[in-house]
Chain A
Amino acid sequence: AQSVAQPEDQVNVAEGNPLTVKCTYSVSGNPYLFWYVQYPNRGLQFLLKYITGDNLVKGSYGFEAEFNKSQTSFHLKKPSALVSDSALYFCAVSPRNRDDKIIFGKGTRLHILP
Chain B
Amino acid sequence: DVKVTQSSRYLVKRTGEKVFLECVQDMDHENMFWYRQDPGLGLRLIYFSYDVKMKEKGDIPEGYSVSREKKERFSLILESASTNQTSMYLCASSRYTQYFGPGTRLTVL
Contacts and interface: CB of A to CB of B under 8 A. Distances in A.
B43 interface: yes
A14 B100 CA distance: 29
Contacts of B9: 41
Nearest to A49: B97
Interface residues on B, range: 20 to 34
Given A49-B97, A99-B96, A100-B48, A43 B42 contact: no
Interface in B1-28: 4, 6, 9
Nearest to B101: A43
Given A43-B103, A44-B90, A99-B31, A90 B43 contact: yes
A66 B99 CA distance: 22
Interface of B: 4, 6, 9, 31, 33, 40-43, 48, 50, 56, 88, 90-92, 94-103, 105
29 contacts: A32-B97, A34-B97, A34-B98, A41-B88, A41-B103, A41-B105, A42-B102, A43-B4, A43-B90, A43-B101, A43-B102, A43-B103, A44-B43, A44-B90, A44-B98, A46-B97, A49-B97, A92-B98, A97-B96, A99-B94, A99-B98, A100-B31, A100-B48, A100-B50, A100-B56, A104-B42, A105-B42, A106-B41, A107-B42
